[in-house]
Structure 1
Amino acid sequence: MATPTLHDPNPDHYDAGERPASNLPVVVPSEPSLPDILDRKIERATAYAKAARSAATRKAYASDWVIFAQWCAELALTPLPASPGQVATFAADQADAGLNPSTIVRRVAAIGHYHRASGYPAPTAQPDAGGLAEVMAGIRAEKGTRKVKKRPADAAALRNMLAEVQGDGLRAVRDRALLAIGMAAALRRSELVALELGHVGLVPKGLEILIARSKTDQDREGATIAIPEGTRIRPKALLLEWMAAAGHTSGPLFRRLTRSDQLTDDPMSDKAVARLVKRYAAAAGYDPGEFSGHSLRSGFLTEGAGQGATIFKLQEVSRHKTVQILSEYVRDADRFNNHAGERFL
């Protein structure tokens, strides 16, 4: 630490060589004061806390907060801080408007997040939050519906979709590779568009794909997924065809194309992946409303479970933190295998 300098606040009060006893020297530190250091540390801590939530969650929370603030403004209420009763009324209005219970739960969580960030206790954590908890339970009980799952793009569906990608133009070559890799690596659409050329490793048996960051990997530890070469869907061959056609040597792997099919430097958006899946599902004769970007990921898990892959081998590819969700795919595949009524029905 640097040595502090001495400064007399009243140098004109004495002659050279003299210093009044009442005018003690003042220490002027040459480094930031303790409050400044603490402020900087708090700023860094805040940044780390912000990074702990995915970009998608932060975006959703920001949108939810705007909706709540607008609702409060219409009723001449203060959004921050808000009472549990105020939030309960907001939640009830949202339910009456037809919103899904899971969306309402997220909005209440967003309200709590903004309260904590501003130094207030979340409405759900206040002593009189019992009424709010009852309202939320009632919404889930009355409005709750069975979650509608999108149809998985299993091996048969994906082969049918790939067959509808016509031609050898740049867009067709890209779309075939994207569909194949998305399914073969059980990727979320956000992971698919985040892939870069440097994340692809070519090995004799197929591909090694590095997932640098994902929804469940906020610490950025990364994970490497093995993709076999394949003899039916042939994901490696389709990806190599795209890389050769695009000719880029770095940056995003799957890039946005202009209307005239010119390659850009920008990655595709996750919404573009969802639209692409729906378009080729419709071309293959399926109801596009039953498919989504997640259909590629669920398609791998559905097909893998149906072909007898163990839940742990599925987890190697899907990277689920627990096997609870994966067990649903295995149960679906085994529903008629060794059925309890097989011997007497």
Structure 2
Amino acid sequence: MTTLALPAYAQLSEADEAALTDLYRRGTPANTLRAWERDLAYIAAWKMASFGRPLDWPEEEKVALRFILDHAQDLTEKPGAARDVAMELIAIGLRRELTCPAPATLDRRIASWQAFHRMRNLASPFSSPLVQQARQKARRANARPRVPKSPKPVTRDILEALLATCDASRRGIRDRAMLMLAFASGGRRRSELTALNVEDVGLDDFTPKGLIWITLLDTKTTRKDQAPRLPMKGRAARALVHWLEVTKITDGPLFRPISLSDRPLPRRLATDALRTILRHRLVLAGLPVNFATPHGLRAGFLTQAALDGAPLAAAMKLSLHRSAVQAQKYYADVEITENPATDLLGE
């Protein structure tokens, strides 16, 4: 089958292609872009090591099939071409080990590869029936038990223990406000917290109603033109307002590093700052440093909502989960112990 050559007037100019790429970037969350770039570097290095040539657009079906097969087996005790390629990727820091990657990792890399095909308006080889079938079989063959992102959910009682360690210093006031906002606004992600600016906090309703509004411009599941506004009230709202009053911050990053002299610095907290803060507070509360990760605040919000009998749909409006199936897992873990069917034989 021959490809129809388009006339010059029907083809995108270099400037048009650059504008399209820029539009694609501006319409994609920063975390997703970083994942795409890492995955593309891995895929390009894998193909060069496997076939001795760079990526093609569109890619060949046999290359996609080989990619799946090479990543659907444990190569630790399996000498051959796939193992040699994996060793090369380990040597340059793009792969950690010879064991079979998790199905989720393989799915993410394939999704990134497909995204770059879409960006070029090209058909992806992963859409072919043979490749899709190989993908399904690889997923089943290497299925693993679900491992929670946090060892424990940070439910209300755990959060109270962490908040009790926050003193009246600016560091303590910041940590209290940050932990309470992360929990009370629906279980916010690390990147969402550190991306917040003072301008994203609406205080007009605080005096008359005790309510503030948090606008999230940078989330995993929404675009900037869909920025959700989430309410926060009660103790959490007062803690955040107290942080602003004490520091007199009026613009720029909402949460900032604190100097040794207990003064807020003008720069933004690092994306991973919540992990450091949480570990510090866990130790002060007498809990193991690995008791929970930042995702424990997100899991804790949904778990506590289930414990308190809040409808799943109501909790999802704050957590911003797109999948009810995903959010339901937290409810299922709680509800199964209260299910009447677990007590058919009585006491």
CA distance in structure 2 between the partners assigned to 1:337 and 1:50 by the alignment? 47
- Which of these residues, 62, 66, 72, is aligned with residue 41 of structure 2? 66
Q: Choose 1 or 2 for highest CA Rg.
A: 1
- Which of these residues, 220, 223, 231, is aligned with residue 218 of structure 1? 223
1:277-336 CA distance string (max 9 Å, x none): 233234434444352222212211111111111123212322333533333333333223
CA distance in structure 1 between the partners assigned to 2:11 and 2:263 by the alignment? 51
SS in 2 for 1:335: helix
2:165 is aligned to 164
The alpha-carbon deviation at position 270 of structure 1 amounts to 2.5
1:255 is aligned to 256
CA distance in structure 2 between the partners assigned to 1:110 and 1:37 by the alignment? 23
SS in 2 for 1:209: strand
- Which of these residues, 61, 64, 67, is aligned with residue 84 of structure 1? 61
CA distance in structure 2 between the partners assigned to 1:226 and 1:163 by the alignment? 24
**Counterpart AA for 1:60:** A
1:189-222 CA distance string (max 9 Å, x none): 2221122212223323332222234222115222
Partners of 1:195 and 1:253 within 8 A in 2: yes
The reply to whether residue 179 of structure 1 matches residue 183 of structure 2 is: no
CA distance in structure 2 between the partners assigned to 1:196 and 1:236 by the alignment? 16
Change (3 A) 1:300 1:116: closer
1:152-187 CA distance string (max 9 Å, x none): 11101111112233x433222211111111111122
The reply to whether residue 101 of structure 1 matches residue 99 of structure 2 is: no
Length-normalised TM-score, structure 2: 0.77
Please give the residue correspondences for 1:121-136 in structure 2 after superposition, counting only pairs within 5 Å: 121-126=123-128, 130=130, 132-136=131-135
Change (3 A) 1:63 1:185: same
Length-normalised TM-score, structure 1: 0.78
The reply to whether residue 207 of structure 1 matches residue 212 of structure 2 is: yes
SS in 2 for 1:279: helix
**Counterpart AA for 1:201:** G
Partners of 1:201 and 1:208 within 8 A in 2: yes
Query: Any stretches of 5+ residues in structure 1 without a counterpart?
Result: 1-32
1:153 is aligned to 154
CA distance in structure 2 between the partners assigned to 1:262 and 1:36 by the alignment? 57
1:29-73 CA distance string (max 9 Å, x none): xxxx96899655544333333333321111111111111222223
Partners of 1:80 and 1:115 within 8 A in 2: no
Change (3 A) 1:323 1:112: closer
Determine which structure has greater relative contact order: mean sequence separation of CA pairs < 8 Å that are 6+ residues apart, divided by chain length: 2
CA distance in structure 1 between the partners assigned to 2:12 and 2:124 by the alignment? 28
Partners of 1:213 and 1:221 within 8 A in 2: no
Partners of 1:170 and 1:261 within 8 A in 2: yes
Which segment is superposed worse, 176-185 or 311-320?
311-320
CA distance in structure 2 between the partners assigned to 1:185 and 1:86 by the alignment? 45
CA distance in structure 1 between the partners assigned to 2:146 and 2:114 by the alignment? 25
2:88 is aligned to none
Query: Any stretches of 5+ residues in structure 2 without a counterpart?
Result: 1-7, 75-97
Change (3 A) 1:264 1:157: same
Higher helix share: 2
CA distance in structure 1 between the partners assigned to 2:168 and 2:243 by the alignment? 10
CA distance in structure 1 between the partners assigned to 2:327 and 2:316 by the alignment? 7
CA distance in structure 1 between the partners assigned to 2:15 and 2:296 by the alignment? 45
1:78-131 CA distance string (max 9 Å, x none): 2322433333333444443332211111112222333444565322135xx61x
2:142 is aligned to 143
SS in 2 for 1:78: coil
Higher strand share: 1
Aligned residues: 305
CA distance in structure 1 between the partners assigned to 2:243 and 2:339 by the alignment? 44
The alpha-carbon deviation at position 343 of structure 1 amounts to 4.3
2:29 is aligned to 54
Could you tell me the percent identity over the aligned residues?
25
Partners of 1:185 and 1:297 within 8 A in 2: no
**Counterpart AA for 2:320:** R
The reply to whether residue 44 of structure 1 matches residue 23 of structure 2 is: no
Change (3 A) 1:93 1:266: farther
CA distance in structure 1 between the partners assigned to 2:125 and 2:9 by the alignment? 33
1:266 is aligned to 267
Partners of 2:217 and 2:223 within 8 A in 1: no
CA distance in structure 2 between the partners assigned to 1:119 and 1:200 by the alignment? 39
